[in-house]
Amino acid sequence: MKHKILPLLAALLTALTLTGCSFSDIMLYLYGGDDFVKKTDTRDFQTYAGENGITVVYDANQWNMPTMAQDDTISITSGNKLDYTAVLIQVCDTYTDFLAQSGEELNQETNTVAYELELTVPDARTSAVRYDCGSYQAIFVQIDYDSATTVYVSAASRAANYDPIIELLQGVSPTEP
């Protein structure tokens, strides 16, 4: 019996590689991953003007269409059940020290390791910190634009690579009047 299964398994794996399916695609299919549609590798930049005065330029092949999670907050997500990222972009609340307060609240829930995060956004000053929280990462960013608008960003990701979050934030800006 063992000898009959091995050639069948080898043929199945060969067929899957020829169709372009990756191991993660197979795992998503087997374990009920959502968004089991491979997006193209080309970039498809879209613009979303939020009702909170913030515009987000995002790659539609990387991110789902943003929504207004609350009156002052844009929400944008990417990924699936195995590799998920959520970003909240908020403008209305004023924090005494957003990064410290967010880190303190996160540490009350789980043990974390903090890392300074270098991030540049056009026409703005940024301060950012990344927390390693075991199976996911949390990123908190304060963006102070030259136009006197301050944006607070909270991001959580199960993905190992946080570069897409940084790239997304470089496309965030105050909406021009």
Question: According to the model, what pLDDT value does residue 177 have?
Answer: 57
Question: According to the model, what pLDDT value does residue 36 have?
Answer: 43
Whole-model pTM over 0.85: no
pLDDT tens profile 81-126? 677 888 989 987 677 788 888 888 777 777 778 888 888 898 899 9
- Which residues of the chain fall below pLDDT 50? 1-2, 16, 19, 30-31, 35-38
Set out the domains of the chain in order of their start, with CATH numbers: 1-31 (no CATH), 45-174 (2.60.120.1690)
Please tell me the total number of residues recorded for the chain in this structure.
177
Cα–Cα distance for residue pair 125/103, rounded to 1 Å: 20
7-23 as b/e, with b when 16 or more CB fall inside 10 Å? eeeeeeeeeeeeeeeee
